[in-house]
Amino acid sequence: MFKKRHFNEFQDGQELLKIPKVVVLRNTEREGLIRSRNKGAANATAEVLVFLDSHCEVNDQWLEPLLTRIKQSPYSVVSPVIDVISFQTFEYQASSDEVRGGFDWSLNFKWENLSSKEKQSRKDTTQHIKSPVVAGGIFAIRRDWFNKIGQYDPDLEVWGGENFETRISMFHIFVPELSFKAWLCGGQTEILPCSRVGHIFRKEHPFSFPQSSDATYLRNTRRVAEVWLDEYKRFFYEARPEAKNIDIGDISRRIELRKSLGCRSFKWFMEKVYPELEIPAHDGVAYGQILQGDMCIDYLDKQVVFKPCKENEPSQEWTMKEKGVIRNKENLCLMADIEDTNSYVLLAYCKDDINLVWERQDTQLVHQKSGLCLDSHKPEKGLVIGECELSDTQSWTFSFENR
């Protein structure tokens, strides 16, 4: 890793020139990651472009599966399975090959396990995985296709927005723009289990940002939302209301690009590509994590548990409907019955049952049938319902409110 004072020294990269076929390009000023990648692509001459972060290590025969798939499917953007390299010890840790890329309405990237249905539909474990999005730092794409869909948005700053980034692990760039363009404009994004690349996940960025990192990220993701999300952008603003005050510059050329390519609507993407992304329902009064300090309501199988909050954790995502049921993405609802469950809160399939109905009273969640309050005073055993009282163990907040 070059130190900041070395960035402008001519000899940077000169050792790389000793490697056959290597070309070193230098910017005359700081351009950031996105525009630098565009510059590299503009100077490339091969039929296929392969993008890698600098802090990667490739495995044997990692490239052949990517090139083979692109030959089979020229409009696919293909990504390897991304393994983890420890930033402290350089230990190489294999990742699951049964995951795909997803995101939430903050446009944060997250890994998702394949559903049982998806696993069963695959002919074998080497088959490509269709992924709603791929991580934006490591992928291959036909050069003519990359240029046709407008490359990266050159007005994205430094990183973030080309495929979203996981804020906790400081993953490489996640700019959903590229994945959205691929799907909406005639292609698709895929992960290939037979190709593996290791990536060092840093705990902090080794560079500064034009503004703060949050402001830069919000600017980039708001540009993506305004150009590609159509009417669904309101969910982005519900999740990130502070983004409304961020200046995103001129987006007219990106909107015109989308029109000229005849791209599909984001509604099509939601229906055909990523129906699993839950839309905050019109009859939902609150959604997201149910928090008590830094602890959240979670579940394992059908057991309700109380665990430390973890960003982008699917098992901690809930929606409370106007009718009072609180359900998760598997259509299981929080239920309690003094007789059958001994006052413990469990999960049951959502249905018309008074035992599944809750009412919000200030920060308390009151079980309608019993009149008792959701309580966490026995966290090691789970959640219970008990006599309502002014107690921290009965105070709950949701991540997001539908107002």
CATH of the domain at 314: 2.80.10.50
At residue 5, the pLDDT reads 39
Q: Which two tokens stand for residue 222?
A: 């708001």
pLDDT above 70 covers a percentage of the chain that reads 88
Q: What is the pLDDT of residues 172-201, one digit of tens each?
A: 445 689 999 999 999 999 999 999 999 997
Does residue 314 carry a pLDDT above 90? no
Does residue 164 carry a pLDDT above 50? no
Last residue of a domain, one of 249, 273, 297: 273
Q: Give the global pTM.
A: 0.67
Tell whether 49 and 103 lie within a shared domain: yes
Tell whether 238 and 355 lie within a shared domain: no
In a domain, 278, yes or no: no
Q: What is the pLDDT of residues 214-270, one digit of tens each?
A: 788 899 999 999 999 998 898 898 889 899 889 999 999 999 999 999 999 999 999
| 10-14, 41-45, 385-389: least confident range | 10-14
For residues 340-366, average pLDDT: 91
- Residue given tokens 């296929």 in the structure block: 48
What CA–CA distance (Å, rounded) separates 29 from 224?
25
In a domain, 192, yes or no: yes
At residue 340, the pLDDT reads 75
Tell whether 15 and 92 lie within a shared domain: yes
What CA–CA distance (Å, rounded) separates 179 from 162?
8
Q: What is the CATH number of the domain that holds 212?
A: 3.90.550.10
Tell whether 132 and 173 lie within a shared domain: yes
Tell whether 67 and 184 lie within a shared domain: yes
Tell whether 131 and 238 lie within a shared domain: yes
* 401: exposed, middle or buried (Cβ count in 10 Å: 0-12, 13-18, 19+): middle
12, 110, 125, 142, 265 from 24: Cα distances, Å: 9, 33, 38, 21, 39
H or E stretch at 28: none
Total structural domains within the chain = 2
Q: What is the pLDDT of residues 17-49, one digit of tens each?
A: 888 988 988 888 878 788 889 999 999 999 999
* pLDDT grade for 7, boundaries at 50, 70 and 90: very low
For residues 116-137, average pLDDT: 90
Among the listed residues 242, 103, 115, 125, the one whose alpha carbon sits nearest the alpha carbon of residue 175: 103
At residue 162, the pLDDT reads 39
Please give the residue range of the domain that contains residue 293: 284-401
Tell whether 298 and 323 lie within a shared domain: yes
Contact between 57 and 90 (Cβ < 8 Å): no
Last residue of a domain, one of 218, 245, 273: 273
Contact between 171 and 107 (Cβ < 8 Å): no
What CA–CA distance (Å, rounded) separates 137 from 53?
6
Tell whether 64 and 170 lie within a shared domain: yes
Tell whether 257 and 332 lie within a shared domain: no
| 303-307, 378-382, 383-387: least confident range | 378-382
What CA–CA distance (Å, rounded) separates 215 from 161?
12
Among the listed residues 144, 188, 181, 189, the one whose alpha carbon sits nearest the alpha carbon of residue 262: 181
Q: Regarding predicted confidence, which is higher, 360 or 302?
A: 360
Tell whether 126 and 200 lie within a shared domain: yes
The full DSSP string for 292-355 is ETTEEEEEETTEEEEEE--TT-GGG-EEEETTS-EE-TTSEEEEE-TTTSTTBEEEEE--S-GG
In a domain, 128, yes or no: yes
* pLDDT grade for 401, boundaries at 50, 70 and 90: confident
What CA–CA distance (Å, rounded) separates 333 from 335?
6
19, 63, 211, 311, 401 from 189: Cα distances, Å: 31, 16, 31, 24, 32
Q: Regarding predicted confidence, which is higher, 356 or 87?
A: 356
Cβ neighbours of 4 (radius 10 Å) = 9
Query: CB under 8 Å, gap of 24 or more: what pairs does 205-212 form?
Result: 205/170, 206/1, 207/4, 207/158, 209/157, 209/158, 210/32, 210/157, 210/158, 211/157
Q: In the predicted model, what is the mean pLDDT of the chain?
A: 87
For residues 361-385, average pLDDT: 93
For residues 322-326, average pLDDT: 92
Does residue 171 carry a pLDDT above 60? no
In a domain, 279, yes or no: no
Please state the separation of Cα 57 from the chain's center in Å.
Answer: 23
At residue 305, the pLDDT reads 94
Last residue of a domain, one of 220, 249, 273: 273
For residues 265-289, average pLDDT: 86
Tell whether 212 and 63 lie within a shared domain: yes
User: CB-based contacts of 124: which residues, under 8 Å, 6+ apart?
Assistant: none
